[in-house]
Structure 1
Amino acid sequence: MSYPGYPPSDGYPAFPGYPPTGQESVYPPAGQYPYPTTVPGGFPPSGGGTFPAAPPNAGFPGYSALGGYPASGSFPGAPQAGGMPPYSGGPGFAVPPTGPGFGGYPQQPPAQSYAGGGPAQIPGFPGGQVPSPMPGPPAAVVQYTQGTIQAAPNFDAGRDAEILRKAMKGFGTDEQAIINVVANRSNDQRQKIKAAFKTMYGKDLIKDLKSELSGNVEELILALFMPSTYYDAWSLRHAMKGAGTQESVLIEILCTRTNQEIREIVNCYKSEFGRDIEEDIRSDTSGHFERLLISMCQGNRDENQTVDYQKAQEDAQRLYQAGEGKLGTDESCFNMVLASRSFPQLKATVEAYSRIANRDLLSSIDREFSGNVERGLKTIVQCALNRPAFFAERLYYSMKGAGTDDSTLIRIVVTRSEIDLVQIKQMFTQMYQKTLATMIASDTSGDYRQLLLAIVGQ
């Protein structure tokens, strides 16, 4: 079984004793790294119990098909064919460390159970031990992601437009009324509110909001009212406009989006700003970083979710020979592999690389590259391993230390709010031993804080 989110990036706690030799271990070694794990199929569970955070609807979308568990315990509506699948929403099998198992699965043992390199003692397994590592690759895991903002039921664009009009009419502004609407509507619903507002009052909602608000809360609300593709394109244009370039914004957007998202962003950039994004990248960046971003702009990454383990082994060997295995670095080889392979394929390549090089790929990129191209390549690897963990790290460093990088905080909270912010919050807590909401509350204030907390689901 692979380790979600491994290898760690800068700032993550380390995995002592990694990488494993031969087949991957069923459980990660002891240490501070907080990711929970799933157990491969075939172990008969014992006892009963319920999974506390289970979705209420039958069928349980987001539970992977790593079958092999009999459907035991008191989990209603459990699929019978193929056994009880473990939960794989975001970071993995999120059973509380001291809580009961899911449908009869044993509770997760404390970290010290893994210490010493011996088998962990786990109640309910034959002999109380984890059996030897799995023979061969695991079955494909279907990842389930979830946003904190869902489309509002019983939505009425005209009624919401009226609420916003009243909130801005006359002396003063009712910021709470505005927050209640924008934080509880999907992006698509906000576009309909914007259209209804103009139809009903002959006024532009965005201009009215800008005249009533200021500072970070204005930037946040305007971001929420931008169509998602336009917001990404606007952020890229803003990052390259004027003196200087915000390379971290280019990396964050172009190295993490899907093919379809990137193609839509490129088209939107052209239609809305009358500019070619590749030409702007060439004029604002150079060298291997420029080539990496141009590769990303093609939106042509392989998206086949089936992993070719032989190709992963070959690519890992190729990357080793292009970096650690030679004097100097063949940058084009890294660009080719990391820009073209699917994310599941890259994850398998990373795991194969650690066996070949006796070092994880992120460490090798650290040693072989520097500057923006290093950050770009590491972002791609991190997203292949655990995308929510990448964004959790970005959020953490946007608020860590003196001052707050509000633009990064706003951009990630808004762009992930309907995609995987639930998983990002989970990873944030596991990685930094504090909740995202706690850190936002201590770093922001006023209506800005209130709206951010409403979006993240607090």
Structure 2
Amino acid sequence: MATIKGVSSFSAEQEAHALRKAMKGLGTDEDAIIEILTKLNVSQRQQVLITYKSSIGRDLIDDLKSELSGNFERVIIGMMTPTTMYDVHELRRAVKGAGTDEGCLIEILASRTNEEIRRINENYKCHRTSESKRCHQQDCQQPQGLEFHPETESGLGTDDNTLIRVMVSRSEIDMLHIRREFLTMYGKSLYSFIKGDCSGDYRKVLLRLCGGED
């Protein structure tokens, strides 16, 4: 059911250095970043994240943010975020601001297992306590770390928010089923929809997460 399954022969150090090479010097090799990260599953990406810091001495998230932009950056950072924390971030975004993104709340809470909901709840509470303390200490500055760019929370591009969230969160679970349901409901493949409505490196990474045209 998944389109992203990870690789059996895996070296976190090798992939970490390949990512650094893709971002080092003049210009960024976006195709190399896409190739590396879309072949790994979320657990392997987390190993690369840790190894990148220990082996290269740099923060991979910071490097990716400095080299990428727009929706391409958002989907890549989403892929680099632990599954539960990604859900927590999306739930917090959904209830933040003037209106509530009820579609996001329903989508996440209705599709996660009881154990996943328990982990989300624990991390959501923890994240709110730690953020509240940080805001008090730092005069409510934007939290650092695995936070997304402000444009994610601007209220604009809701379709992109949903598309990115579904592609990132379901590519290792039931993307093949989603593709079949999409085709049945809309008479058009998800692959062709992405190909026609997205562009550039953003489109490339979504097509890899989608896994195929059928």
TM-score past 0.5 threshold: yes
The superposition leaves residues 339-379 of structure 1 with CA deviations (integer Å, 9 ceiling, x where unpaired) of: xxxxxxxxxxxxxxxxxxxxxxxxxxxxxxxxxxxxxxxxx
Corresponding residue for 1:183?
38
Unaligned runs of 5+ residues in structure 2 are 131-156
Residue 173 of structure 1 pairs with residue 28 of structure 2: yes
C-alpha contact 1:151 1:184 (8 A) present in aligned 2: yes
- Bigger relative contact order (CA 8 A; separation at least 6): 2
Residue 267 of structure 1 pairs with residue 122 of structure 2: yes
C-alpha contact 2:109 2:117 (8 A) present in aligned 1: yes
Instruction: Supply the distance in 2 between the matched residues of 1:244 and 1:273 (Cα, whole angstroms).
Output: 19
Instruction: Supply the distance in 2 between the matched residues of 1:249 and 1:205 (Cα, whole angstroms).
Output: 28
C-alpha contact 2:17 2:56 (8 A) present in aligned 1: no
Instruction: Supply the distance in 2 between the matched residues of 1:274 and 1:252 (Cα, whole angstroms).
Output: 25
Residue 427 of structure 1 pairs with residue 175 of structure 2: no
Instruction: Supply the distance in 2 between the matched residues of 1:238 and 1:203 (Cα, whole angstroms).
Output: 28
Residue 444 of structure 1 pairs with residue 195 of structure 2: no
Structure 1 stretch 430-439 or stretch 208-217: which is displaced more?
A: 430-439
Residue 211 of structure 1 pairs with residue 66 of structure 2: yes
Amino acid at match of 2:115: Q
Corresponding residue for 1:406?
160
C-alpha contact 1:428 1:436 (8 A) present in aligned 2: yes
Question: Following TM superposition, by how much is the alpha carbon of 1:183 offset from its aligned partner in structure 2, in angstroms?
Answer: 0.8
Aligned pair count reads: 187
The superposition leaves residues 153-201 of structure 1 with CA deviations (integer Å, 9 ceiling, x where unpaired) of: 1011000001100011011100000000111110000000000000011
Instruction: Supply the distance in 2 between the matched residues of 1:427 and 1:240 (Cα, whole angstroms).
Output: 28
Question: Following TM superposition, by how much is the alpha carbon of 1:250 offset from its aligned partner in structure 2, in angstroms?
Answer: 1.2
Amino acid at match of 1:209: L
1:231 to 82, 86, 93: 86
Q: Which of the two has higher C-alpha Rg? A: 1
Instruction: Supply the distance in 2 between the matched residues of 1:182 and 1:168 (Cα, whole angstroms).
Output: 14
Unaligned runs of 5+ residues in structure 1 are 1-145, 276-402
C-alpha contact 1:147 1:422 (8 A) present in aligned 2: yes
Residue 155 of structure 1 pairs with residue 10 of structure 2: yes
Amino acid at match of 1:256: S
Structure 1 outlier segments of 4+, above 6 Å? none
- In terms of fraction of residues, the more helix-rich structure is 2
TM-score using structure 2 length: 0.83
Question: Following TM superposition, by how much is the alpha carbon of 1:404 offset from its aligned partner in structure 2, in angstroms?
Answer: 7.0
The superposition leaves residues 64-83 of structure 1 with CA deviations (integer Å, 9 ceiling, x where unpaired) of: xxxxxxxxxxxxxxxxxxxx
Instruction: Supply the distance in 1 between the matched residues of 2:126 and 2:21 (Cα, whole angstroms).
Output: 34
Residue 253 of structure 1 pairs with residue 7 of structure 2: no
Instruction: Supply the distance in 1 between the matched residues of 2:128 and 2:58 (Cα, whole angstroms).
Output: 23
Instruction: Supply the distance in 2 between the matched residues of 1:221 and 1:203 (Cα, whole angstroms).
Output: 17
C-alpha contact 1:239 1:250 (8 A) present in aligned 2: yes
User: Percent identity between the aligned chains?
Assistant: 51
The superposition leaves residues 234-259 of structure 1 with CA deviations (integer Å, 9 ceiling, x where unpaired) of: 10111122332222211111122110
Compute the RMSD of aligned alpha carbons. 1.6
C-alpha contact 2:53 2:60 (8 A) present in aligned 1: yes
C-alpha contact 1:404 1:443 (8 A) present in aligned 2: no
* SS at 1:405 equivalent: helix
1:416 to 165, 170, 174: 170
C-alpha contact 2:171 2:209 (8 A) present in aligned 1: yes
Instruction: Supply the distance in 1 between the matched residues of 2:42 and 2:19 (Cα, whole angstroms).
Output: 16
* SS at 2:111 equivalent: coil
